[in-house]
Structure 1
Amino acid sequence: MECKEIETILLEALSLEEVKVTQEGTHYKIIAVGDCFDGMGRVKQQQTIYGPLMAHITSGELHAITINAFTPTQWKREKVFNM
């Protein structure tokens, strides 16, 4: 599955400001930024991302996924610390 296709699915399904998907072999890393994650625990954030992708996960098209979800404020802070 193409990274851009995953980004499109997530942007259309969720109220996200930004989505970045990278791939190394069969492993995908998803960074999602949106106000929708405000007040959610990490598990709920991941469930929110998994939801729109579930058909692709159950079919085996998507296999290994790492998810990092941030509010816009958290994302700004994360980018500063990781520069």
Structure 2
Amino acid sequence: METSEIEAIIQQALPDAEIDVSGEECSFTLAIISDTFEGQNLMQRQKLVLALFQTQLKTGRLHALTIKAYTPAQFAELQNTHLVQLEC
């Protein structure tokens, strides 16, 4: 699969999402920031994203997905934490 295909599938399901896809062939890492994840735990977020790629995973078009799913607030906090560490 191409990264653009993966981004399109996610964008269709999560229109508000900011998406970063890296990897190649059939193994990718996804970083997704969306309000949709509000109130969901890590397992719920991963299940939601994996469900989008059920067919591709079954057929082998995708072999592995690493999913990093954040709410906008969590991502902002993560960025602030890294900035503080860099300033020290």
TM-score by length of 1: 0.88
* Equivalence for 2:86: none
Q: Which residue of 2 aligns with 1:65?
A: 65
Query: Which segment drifts farther, 71-80 or 17-26?
Result: 17-26
Residue 10 of structure 2: aligned partner: 10
| Unaligned stretches of 5+ residues in structure 2 | 84-88
Is residue 2–residue 25 contact of structure 2 (8 Å, CA) maintained in 1? no
Aligned to 2:81: 81
Matches of 1:15 and 1:44 in 2, distance apart?
Answer: 18
CA distance in 2, matches of 1:13, 1:46: 14
Deviation at 1:65, TM superposition (A): 1.0
Structure (1/2) with the larger helix percentage: 2
Deviation at 1:76, TM superposition (A): 1.3
The higher radius of gyration belongs to 2
Corresponding residue pairs, total: 83
| AA aligned opposite 2:3 | C
Per-residue displacement from partner, 1:15-47 (whole Å, max 9, x unpaired)? 433011100564210011111101111110001
Which residue of 2 is the match for residue 50 of structure 1? 50
Q: Once the 2 structures are TM-superposed, how far is the Cα of residue 72 of structure 1 from its aligned partner?
A: 0.5
Q: CA RMSD in A?
A: 1.6
| Distance in 2 (alpha carbons) for counterparts of 1:26 and 1:78 | 28
Find the residue that maps to 1:8 and give its secondary structure. helix
TM-score normalized by the length of structure 2? 0.83
Q: Are residues 1:30 and 2:37 paired?
A: no
Q: Is the 8 A contact 1:15 1:36 kept in 2?
A: no
